[in-house]
Structure 1
Amino acid sequence: MDTNHTPMSREETLKTITTLTKGIKFAMLTVVTDSGHLKSHPMTTQDSEFDGDVWFLGGKDTEQVRNMQARPEVNVSYADHGKHNYISIAGTAQMVEDPAKLDELWSDGYKAYFPGGKADPNIQLIKIEAHGAEYWGSDGKLKNLFSQARAAVTGKPATDLGTNETVKL
């Protein structure tokens, strides 16, 4: 991993996270249950610029929304196995009522979950305000395999496995 570099600015970090998450259809949203356990759910991602907030639509009547209302600290993770990019975003969940934001995020695919469309009373906008993120990226599988093989032969740790950044937002 590359650890000798200048930290990125907030704007560079936001742009990098937008680039890494672009095209990833689903994220895993992890909440804390009543019993204190972690529980993850797949959520449909929004194809938009990452500005420090992540938005989802959920059901007001779901365990997931109830858990976030009681314990708002959550984690959102993305994985793009084909490009070898992985992102983890820690943040605070807020339940939001905002018809304009719902209009912006809505797609007809949500009708499978909310038969009443945008007027369905069960729709809950979920805003995750990010306070930190970590991401891992790789230049490619072949390069990683070569670096791992070199480490196995020399007995020295693999040092060129890609990028790893931890950032505060």
Structure 2
Amino acid sequence: MSDQDTNHPTREENIRAIASIVKDVKFAMLTVQTAQGHLKAHPMTTQQTEFDGDVWFIGGKDTEQVQCMAERPQVNVSYSDPGKGNYVSIGGAAQLVENRAKLEELWNDGYKAYFPGGIDDPDVQLIKIEAYGAEYWGSDGKIKNILQQARAAVTGQPASDTGTNETVKF
């Protein structure tokens, strides 16, 4: 049976769906694992690049977050747009990258608040998250979801259609 026969989106359709959600979310939460094995999340600015399976960030070399990624590269990046009912969770491996052309592509003067030396600040660290999988949730509208949930609560029957939930492997 093909994907079209089961009404499931193709891998490419899933990537486009994730990209359309991610592009509209200003901040993501990047979760790392500390030396003690605890999970710790930090807000990161979403870069204005088209999601293709990789996620890019700019961080500080001297931060706990970057040090954790250097030692334990498995991370999670999550995006939330509750106003539109869209959510994404991306699991992947972090790479600390030295690539001046990519840094110049992603850099904007807003980063000067964190890096007083600008793009040439020695603490600037380019971070690439290579996704190995993602899951996303999307709804057709907030009101529809609320009505479905209310109906389920009253009738005791599961909500019939609260939106989309898909998983994609990279």
How does the TM-score come out when normalised to structure 2? Answer: 0.94
Q: Report the equivalent of 2:66.
A: 65
CA distance in 1, matches of 2:91, 2:77: 6
Q: Report the equivalent of 2:43.
A: 42
Q: Is the 8 A contact 2:32 2:69 kept in 1?
A: yes
CA distance in 2, matches of 1:11, 1:50: 11
Question: Secondary structure at 1:56's aligned position in 2?
Answer: strand
Q: Is the 8 A contact 1:93 1:127 kept in 2?
A: yes
1:113 aligns with 2:114: yes
Q: Is the 8 A contact 1:23 1:47 kept in 2?
A: no
- Runs of 5+ in structure 2 lacking a partner? none
Which one has more relative contact order, counting CA pairs under 8 Å at least 6 apart? 1
Question: Secondary structure at 1:31's aligned position in 2?
Answer: strand
1:33 aligns with 2:34: yes
Residue 153 of structure 1: CA displacement?
2.6
Residue 142 of structure 1: CA displacement?
1.3
CA distance in 1, matches of 2:168, 2:133: 6
| Structure 1 residue identity aligned to 2:99 | D
CA distance in 1, matches of 2:24, 2:145: 23
Matches within 5 A, 1:145-156: 145-156=146-157
Q: Is the 8 A contact 2:83 2:142 kept in 1?
A: no
CA distance in 1, matches of 2:7, 2:93: 28
Q: Is the 8 A contact 1:93 1:128 kept in 2?
A: yes
1:19 aligns with 2:23: no
How does the TM-score come out when normalised to structure 1? Answer: 0.94
- Runs of 5+ in structure 1 lacking a partner? none
Would you identify which runs of 4 or more consecutive aligned residues in structure 1 move more than 4 Å? Answer: none
CA distance in 1, matches of 2:131, 2:96: 14
